[in-house]
């Protein structure tokens, strides 16, 4: 089939070449005859330049050099003069060649019959230059359209066959991923920070470094938290920080308090370590400290090593721990001798309400703090950190050395440059304002599309926790939603038990328009339950 099409296109091209020759010949003949009236010839050329090439009936114009036909993907650059007729399909009809051939014989353009030209009845007279030009125009247009159509067909042939999908066009809208969309990542800023890192500290950036992290970034973080650098350890993402902390502190059978619901990866990691988990309900203002106090005081002997708390815009619920509860929690930690693990990657992303002090700043000896640049800069950079009592940081630094010698100095040097230049503040502002819009869009769409859904609009962060009326089977909803091209994470993934009627919607990776469409799809899936 390829060969046949090529032959046809080659034939077309041959016709164009013949036509050019005929026009040139007529041009030469008539130029001599009509040398007395050059201005009328010029007019046709002017019209050709002024008259846009439309898709309507072929206009009697000669396209000037400014008119171009974009070569198809496989077309070579225009060549002058037109090549000999293609022998077979040598990579596509040379659309450009037809155009260039127009430029060449200006004689054709100057060969329009002047007022003295004879007008013979059509059919039995030789065609005039204008007629030939009109015909050439049509021929070129046809060739161009065919070429484009052919290239498109060929392109589709080369694409892998798409799997049959029941999903609507436009792809899946994901409320599942807790990651920023590309439009709110400062790629240019990161590129420049990388260049500065290699320029200003090529040795430190390319070396192994040490397990405590890139020293300049460590110092920058320490300064931010108002602590000595010895209290800081910079890791490959805060997930790595969590893993080190758990490896150091949590042994099989140890009691650990977690929020209910909580970040699914923490839950998994603690379970795999054999920790005995006590899941305490999360309320609108954070963990239920009264329930925790009851658990600790009821004589069952629960004595946690640590309590894992996500204080700001919690993952998955989006709730924030109130000031009163921060104090109560620290008081319980002090009374019962456990550490608070303050897991705080979203703290900078508040878009409404008042910021609250970290528990780290309230009791630095009782708190191990983790945060991350994943949510404010980008997750791919994989830079997070721990702040804690020096003995814990020292022990974890040894663990880190034995695990990977050192974290990525390249990533950390880039993050340092990004922070030191102030780009991080601009990035935070960009992310924060996008999140504010997206959270508002999500809340509005949910109220409109699924009025029975219950949720608290978060004051920051990435997530919204949605609870449907009792009996709503979110497991089934997830499948029905997937069929309609929308994804989310089920509530049950964030709990040891329960959560069957709840789901987490992450809005950081979707634009307001996608949110509208995604919620409409979700609502359709919900109504079909």
Ligand X SMILES: Cc1ncc(COP(=O)(O)O)c(C=O)c1O
Q: Which residues are near ligand X by CB under 6 A?
A: 178, 237-239, 263, 310, 315, 343, 345, 372, 374, 379, 384
Cα-based torsion angle of the residue sequence 7, 12, 14, 15 in order, rounded to the nearest 10 degrees: 150
Beta strands in 230-331 (DSSP E): 232-235, 255-260, 276-283, 286-287, 304-309
User: CA gyration radius for the chain?
Assistant: 35
Q: Helix H segments across 264-406?
A: 264-272, 289-297, 323-336, 359-362, 390-404
Distance CA(242)–CA(62), nearest Å, equals 72
- Residue 242 CB, nearest distance to ligand X (Å)? 6
Cβ neighbours of 4 (radius 10 Å): 9
- Residue 237 CB, nearest distance to ligand X (Å)? 3
Distance CA(293)–CA(307), nearest Å, equals 12
Question: Which helix H or strand E contains 509, and what residues bound it?
Answer: none
Name which of 96 and 237 has its Cβ closer to ligand X. Answer: 237
Name which of 178 and 407 has its Cβ closer to ligand X. Answer: 178
Distance CA(104)–CA(81), nearest Å, equals 7
Name which of 400 and 472 has its Cβ closer to ligand X. Answer: 400
DSSP state for residue 350 in the 8-state scheme: B
- Residue 290 CB, nearest distance to ligand X (Å)? 23
Beta strands in 336-403 (DSSP E): 339-343, 367-372, 384-387
Name which of 239 and 477 has its Cβ closer to ligand X. Answer: 239
Name which of 196 and 504 has its Cβ closer to ligand X. Answer: 504
Which tokens in the block code for residue 61? 């114009």
List CB contacts of 182: < 8 A, sequence separation 6 or more: none
Q: DSSP string spanning 55-122?
A: SSSPPS----TT---PPPTTPPPP-SSPPSPPSS-SSS--HHHHHHHHHS-HHHHTT---TT---PPT
- Residue 166 CB, nearest distance to ligand X (Å)? 30
Backbone φ and ψ of 152, nearest 5°: -65, -45
Looking at the DSSP assignment, which residues form a beta bridge with residue 256?
Answer: 277, 306
- Residue 241 CB, nearest distance to ligand X (Å)? 8
- Residue 289 CB, nearest distance to ligand X (Å)? 19
Name which of 19 and 368 has its Cβ closer to ligand X. Answer: 368
Looking at the DSSP assignment, which residues form a beta bridge with residue 257?
Answer: 278, 307
Distance CA(78)–CA(63), nearest Å, equals 15
Cβ neighbours of 115 (radius 10 Å): 8
Name which of 209 and 237 has its Cβ closer to ligand X. Answer: 237
Name which of 214 and 336 has its Cβ closer to ligand X. Answer: 214
Name which of 37 and 264 has its Cβ closer to ligand X. Answer: 264
- Residue 263 CB, nearest distance to ligand X (Å)? 4
- Residue 243 CB, nearest distance to ligand X (Å)? 9
- Residue 504 CB, nearest distance to ligand X (Å)? 11
**Parallel, antiparallel or unpaired: strands 367-372 and 384-387:** antiparallel
Name which of 211 and 240 has its Cβ closer to ligand X. Answer: 240
- Residue 508 CB, nearest distance to ligand X (Å)? 10
DSSP state for residue 128 in the 8-state scheme: P
Name which of 174 and 315 has its Cβ closer to ligand X. Answer: 315
First-last CA distance in the chain: 49
Name which of 71 and 180 has its Cβ closer to ligand X. Answer: 180
- Residue 411 CB, nearest distance to ligand X (Å)? 12
Cβ–Cβ under 8 Å, residues 174 and 509:
yes
Name which of 278 and 372 has its Cβ closer to ligand X. Answer: 372
- Residue 449 CB, nearest distance to ligand X (Å)? 26
- Residue 381 CB, nearest distance to ligand X (Å)? 9
Distance CA(224)–CA(423), nearest Å, equals 15
Name which of 82 and 237 has its Cβ closer to ligand X. Answer: 237
- Residue 178 CB, nearest distance to ligand X (Å)? 4
Q: DSSP string spanning 423-475?
A: HHHHHHHHHHHHHHHHHHHHHHHHHHH-TT-B----SBSSEEEEEPPTT--HH
Taking Cα atoms as reference points, which of 27, 442, 377, 420 lies closest to residue 179?
377
Among all chains, which residue has been given the structure tokens 């200003």?
200
């Amino acid at each position: 089939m390829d060969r046949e099409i090529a032959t046809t296109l080659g034939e077309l091209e041959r016709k164009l070449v013949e036509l050019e020759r005929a026009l040139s010949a007529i041009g030469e003949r008539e130029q001599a005859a009509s040398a007395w009236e050059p201005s009328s010839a010029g007019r046709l050329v002017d019209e050709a330049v002024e008259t846009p090439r439309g898709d309507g009936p072929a206009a009697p114009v000669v396209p000037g050099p400014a008119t171009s036909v974009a070569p198809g993907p496989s077309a070579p650059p225009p060549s002058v003069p037109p090549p000999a007729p293609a022998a077979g399909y040598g990579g596509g009809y040379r659309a450009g060649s037809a155009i260039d051939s127009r430029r060449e014989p200006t004689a054709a353009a100057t060969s329009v019959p002047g007022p003295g030209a004879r007008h013979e009845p059509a059919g039995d007279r030789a065609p005039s230059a204008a007629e030939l030009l009109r015909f050439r125009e049509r021929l070129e247009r046809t060739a161009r359209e065919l070429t484009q159509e052919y290239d498109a067909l060929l392109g589709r042939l080369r694409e892998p066959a798409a799997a049959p999908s029941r999903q609507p066009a436009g792809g899946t809208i994901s409320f599942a991923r807790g990651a920023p969309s590309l439009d709110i990542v400062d790629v240019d800023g990161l590129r420049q920070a990388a260049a500065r890192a290699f320029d200003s500290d090529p040795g430190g950036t390319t070396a192994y470094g040490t397990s405590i992290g890139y020293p300049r970034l460590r110092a920058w973080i320490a300064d931010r938290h108002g602590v000595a650098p010895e209290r800081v350890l910079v890791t490959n993402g805060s997930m790595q920080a969590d893993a080190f902390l758990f490896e150091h502190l949590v042994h099989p059978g140890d009691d650990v308090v977690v929020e209910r619901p909580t970040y699914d990866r923490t839950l998994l990691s603690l379970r795999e370590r054999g920790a005995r988990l006590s899941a305490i309900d999360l309320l609108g203002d954070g963990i239920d400290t009264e329930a925790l106090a009851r658990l600790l005081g009821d004589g069952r002997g629960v004595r946690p090593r640590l309590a894992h708390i996500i204080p700001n815009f919690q993952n998955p619920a989006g709730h924030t721990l109130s000031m009163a509860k921060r104090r109560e929690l620290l008081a319980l930690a002090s009374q019962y001798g456990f550490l608070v693990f303050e897991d705080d990657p979203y703290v900078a992303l508040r878009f409404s309400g008042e910021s609250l002090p970290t528990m780290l700043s309230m009791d630095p000896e009782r708190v191990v703090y983790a945060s991350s640049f994943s949510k404010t800069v980008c997750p791919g950079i994989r830079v997070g950190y721990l702040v804690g009592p020096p003995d814990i940081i020292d022990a974890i630094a040894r663990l880190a050395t034995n695990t990977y010698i050192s974290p990525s100095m390249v990533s950390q040097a880039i993050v340092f440059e990004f922070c030191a230049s102030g780009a991080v503040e601009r990035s935070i502002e960009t992310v924060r304002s996008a999140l504010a819009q997206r959270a508002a869009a999500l809340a509005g769409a949910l109220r409109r599309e699924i009025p029975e859904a219950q949720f608290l609009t978060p004051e920051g962060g990435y997530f919204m926790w949605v609870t449907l009326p009792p009996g709503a089977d979110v497991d089934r909803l997830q499948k029905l939603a997937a069929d309609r091209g929308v994804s989310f994470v089920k509530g049950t993934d964030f709990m040891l038990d329960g959560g069957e009627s709840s789901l987490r919607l992450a809005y950081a990776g979707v634009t307001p328009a996608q949110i509208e469409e995604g919620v409409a799809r979700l609502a359709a899936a919900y109504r079909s339950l």
